[in-house]
Structure 1
Amino acid sequence: MLAATAALALGVPAAGAGAAAPAPAATALPALPQPNSHGLTLKSWSAVAGYGGRMADATFTTGAVFTPRGGTPWISPVQVPVTVRIHLPVGYGSDPARRYPVLYLLHGGGGDFQQWSRSDSGNVAATLAGTAFDGIVVMPEGGRAGWYSDWAGHTDGHFAPRWETFHVEQLLPWIDANFATVKDRSGRAIAGASMGGYGALRYGGRHPELFSAVGAFSGGTDLYQANAQKTIADSLWQAGAAIGWTGLLNPFFRVTGDTLYRMETVFGPQNDWPSVTPVSLALNDAYNSFNGKLALYSGGANGTGETDVHGWNRTLHENLDSRSTQHRYCTGPGEHSYQYWTGELKDFVALAYGTAPAQCPNGWGSPAR
C-alpha cells in the first residue's frame, strides 16, 4: 500500500501521460530575486506546458541530496538534481502588495514531484479550482522511497538523502524568499498521500511552528507495525534512494540487510522512533497547536481495500482523542487511490481555508468521533 511497488502502479503514469487540457498562452514566469540561496543552487526555472505560465519547475542541486556517508560514494558527483513543481494562483503578481498562502503537497511512495499535477493522478490545478484555497502549491521531490527523512544510515553505495533538511531548512525559506508568500505559520499548510501523508504528519508534528494545518490522505502513522515495516523495508530494496528514474536500476542506490537494519537506515535507532512516529507524537501533544486543522483520511473501513492503513489511522485518531487534540477523521470503504485522495484534498482545503463540510468526502458520511 505505501510501498514503492503499489505506489508505482497508482501514481506514476508513463512518460508523456497526463497532459493538461489546452490553456491560455503562456505568460512570463515571475522573476526569482534569490534563486541561489538557503543551500540551494538553481539549475533551471521553466514553465510546464499547458498551464499558461501558472505552473513551473525549479530544479536544484543541494548538499542535502546526497550526503556521502559510510565510505567512498559509488556515484560521482554525489549531488543529483532535484525538482520542485510550483503552481501559482490566477492573477499572481498583478497586485504587488498581495501575499499568498502556501500549500506544501507531498507525493507518495514510488512517485515523484509530478504526481500531484498529472491529469491522470492528482490533477491539482483542476482539483483545487473553485475551492477555498487561492494560493501557491509547492510539490517537491521526495524520492521514490525517501520517507521524508534525513537518513541515519546510508545506501549500499555509501551516500544518503536528507529530505527533511531539504524540505524544511532549505526549500521552505527559499519559497518565502522568492515568492509573495505569507511568511509565517499562518500562511503555510502541508498535506500528502500515502508516504506523503506520513511526511505531512512527520513535518507537522516535528515543526508545528512552521505550519498551521496538516492533512494526511491514507498516510502512514506507525513505524512499529509489522506490515508497515515490511512495506518500508521492501521499498528500500526496490527503490532505495532513487529519484524518479535516477538510480532506480542501480544497486548502489538500494539498501540491503534485514528489516530492522533497513528501518534504522532511514529512521535511526529504534529508541529514537517516537520522535518521528505520528502515533507517538500525538501522545506527546505535538498536534495540539493546529487547533482542529488536522485531518486524517483513510479507506478500508469495510474490511476490504486499504485495511492496514485504516487500522493505523484509527490508532492515531484514538491517540489524538486520548489527548483531547481536536482533529477531523474521515473514513469509510475505499482503496489506496487518487480516486479518493483528490476529494480528500478538496475537503482538507475547506477545513484549512474555509469552513469544513458537514460530511466527509467519498460518500463517507459524518466525521468519526
Structure 2
Amino acid sequence: MKPIVVFSFLLIALSTKAASVDTLEIFSNSMHRKVKTVLVRPSGYNNGDKRYPVVYLLHGAFGSYSNWITKVPHIQQLADQYQLMIVCPDGGYTSWYWDSPIDSTYRFETFVGTEVPQYIDANYRTIADRKGRVITGLSMGGHGGFFLGFRHAETFSAIGSMSGALNSTVITQGYGVEKRLGDTAANRTYWRDWSALAAVEKYPKDSVAIIFDCGTEDGVLFMNRSMHEKLSKMKVPHEYTERPGKHDWKYWENAIDYQLLFFRKHFDKVLR
C-alpha cells in the first residue's frame, strides 16, 4: 500500500517539553477524508537513526484525538522515560473503533487498525513489526484496544484497556452503539460478535500480551470483571488490576503510568 499523504504538521507544539508533539492529518482511503492524529516523539528522535516502538493510545466516547495530550500532558515525559512513540488517532465521536456496517463514513477499524500504522511506519523511524506496536485506550478506547488488538494481532503484539466499556452489547442507547451497528434484530451478528467481550473468544494465532484495569467506583467495573473472568477461564495470560477511582481523568492520568511501564517491559522482552 502506498503511504498515505500527510497534509499538516505541528498544529500542537509544546516547546517547554523535551518530547515533540505534532498533530497530523492523515488521509483515510477507507473513509475518503483526512483524520487528525497526535504524534509524540521522544527527545533524541532528531539526533540519530534509532528506531522506536509505538504505543497507539485511543480516546473515549465523545472525545477526540487531542484528549490525551491536553488532559494528560505528562505522557510526553513518559515517552522520554521509556523511549517510545505515542500515537493518538481520532476515533470519531462514538465509533467504538468499528467499520460501521450501516455508515460508510465510520470505518475506524480500518483507519486505526491498518491505515494509521501503515502511515506512521512509512514516515517515521519506527520498529515496523508487530513486536514494536501495542494498542490501548480509555473507556470506548479500551474497547477499541481489545477489539482491534485481537482482530489485528498481526499488527499489535500487546493490548490494553483503562476503564474499558468492554461489553458494548449491553449499551443500547446513549453512547452511539446503535448508530454504528443499526437494528439489534437485523444486525444481530454485529451486536453479538463485535463486543470486545465476544471478540476475545477468537484468540489469535499470534499471542498478545494483555493489561487492563478499572476503578472500583466505575460504572463499567462489571464489564472488566467479566473480561477478567472470561480470560481466566480461557487460560489466556493477562494482568488485571482494580484501583480506587471513578470513570474520570484523575483515574486515567494515574492508570497510564502503569500501562506504559507494562508496555516498556513488553518491548524489552520481545525486541531483544
Which of the five TM-score ranges fits, normalised by the shorter chain?
Answer: 0.7 to 0.9
Query: In the alignment, residue 239 of structure 2 is paired with which amino acid?
Result: R
Q: Are 1:94 and 2:60 counterparts? A: no
Query: Is residue 209 of structure 2 the alignment partner of residue 298 of structure 1?
Result: no
Which has the higher Rg, Structure 1 or Structure 2? 1
Q: Matches of residues 76-91 of structure 1 in structure 2 within 5 Å?
A: 79=33, 81-91=34-44
Given the superposition, is the C-alpha separation of residues 122 and 265 from structure 1 closer, same or farther in structure 2, using an over 3 Å criterion? farther
**Structure 1 residue 113 corresponds to structure 2 residue 29:** no
| Matched residue, 1:51 | 15
Alignment-mate amino acid for residue 42 of structure 1: V
TM-score of the aligned structures, taking structure 1 as reference length: 0.65
1:134 aligns with 2:77: no
Aligned to 1:190: 135
Of residues 51-60 and 315-324 in structure 1, the stretch that sits farther from structure 2 once superposed is 51-60
1:72 equivalent in structure 2: none
Structure 2 CA distance for partners of 1:41 and 1:334, relative to 1, 3 Å: same
| 1:174 correspondence with 2:91 | no
Q: How many residues align?
A: 263
Is the counterpart of residue 341 in structure 1 residue 252 in structure 2?
yes
- In structure 1, give the amino acid aligned to 2:28: T
Q: Which amino acid aligns with 2:244?
A: P
1:290-335: CA deviations, max 9, x gaps?
2xx3111111x3xxx323x100110010000001111111113321
CA distance in 1, matches of 2:36, 2:76: 22
C-alpha separation between the residues in 2 aligned to 1:151 and 1:282?
19
Matched AA of 1:214? I
The CA distance in 2 between the partners of 1:347 and 1:124, in whole Å, is 13
Q: What do residues 18-66 of structure 1 show as CA deviations (whole Å, max 9, x unaligned)?
A: xxxxxxxxxxxxxxxxxx944x332212252323671111113334335
Runs of 4+ in 1 over 3 A off after TM superposition: 124-127, 265-268, 272-275
Q: Which residue of 1 aligns with 2:263?
A: 352
- In the alignment, is the contact (CA less than 8 A) between 2:147 and 2:200 conserved in 1? no
Structure 1 residue 341, shift from structure 2 partner: 1.0
Determine the structure 2 residue equivalent to 1:276.
Answer: 194
Partner of 1:14: none
Question: Which residue matches 2:27?
Answer: 61
- 1:265 and 1:124 mapped to 2: Cα distance? 39
Partner of residue 173 from structure 2, selected from 217, 230, 235: 230
Q: Distance in 1 between matches of 2:39 and 2:200?
A: 31
Q: Is residue 45–residue 56 contact of structure 1 (8 Å, CA) maintained in 2?
A: yes
Equivalent residues of 1:147, 1:266 under 8 A apart? no
For 1:177 and 1:285, locate their aligned partners in 2 and report how far apart those are by CA, in whole Å: 29
Cα distance in 1 for partners of 2:77, 2:251 equals 12
CA distance 1:62–1:279, shift in 2 (3 Å): closer
Across the aligned residues of Structure 1 and Structure 2, the Cα RMSD in angstroms comes to 2.5
Q: For 2:44, what is the secondary structure of its paired residue?
A: coil
Alignment of 1:187-226 (within 5 A): 187-225=132-170
Q: CA separation in 2, counterparts of 1:222 and 1:140?
A: 22
1:324 aligns with 2:269: no
After superposition, give the CA deviation of every residue in 1:109-149 in whole Å (9 maximum; x if it has no partner). 1111110001xx22243562664x21111111111112111
Asked if 1:122 is matched to 2:72, the reply is yes
Q: Which amino acid aligns with 1:125?
A: I
Label 1:207 to 1:100 Cα distance change in 2 as closer, same or farther (>3 A). Answer: same
Amino acid aligned to 1:342: E
Give me the whole-angstrom Cα distance separating, in 2, the residues matched to 1:185 and 1:129.
19
TM superposition shift of 1:263? 5.3
TM-score normalised to structure 2 length: 0.87
Q: 1:83 to 1:130 in 2, by over 3 A?
A: closer
Among candidates 85, 88, 96, match of residue 147 of structure 1 = 96
Instruction: Identify the range of structure 1 (134-143 vs 328-337) with the bigger mean alpha-carbon deviation.
Output: 328-337
- Amino acid paired to 1:146: S
- Which one is further off, 204-213 or 275-284? 275-284
Amino acid at match of 2:65: F
* Amino acid aligned to 1:201: F
| Identity across matched positions, percent | 27
Deviation at 1:185, TM superposition (A): 0.9
- Tell me, in whole angstroms, the C-alpha distance in 2 between the residues paired with 1:322 and 1:161: 34
Does the aligned pair in 2 maintain the 1:107–1:139 contact within 8 Å?
A: yes
- The answer as to whether partners of 1:153 and 1:160 remain within 8 angstroms in 2 is no
Q: Is the contact between residue 26 and residue 116 of structure 2 (CA under 8 Å) also seen in structure 1?
A: no
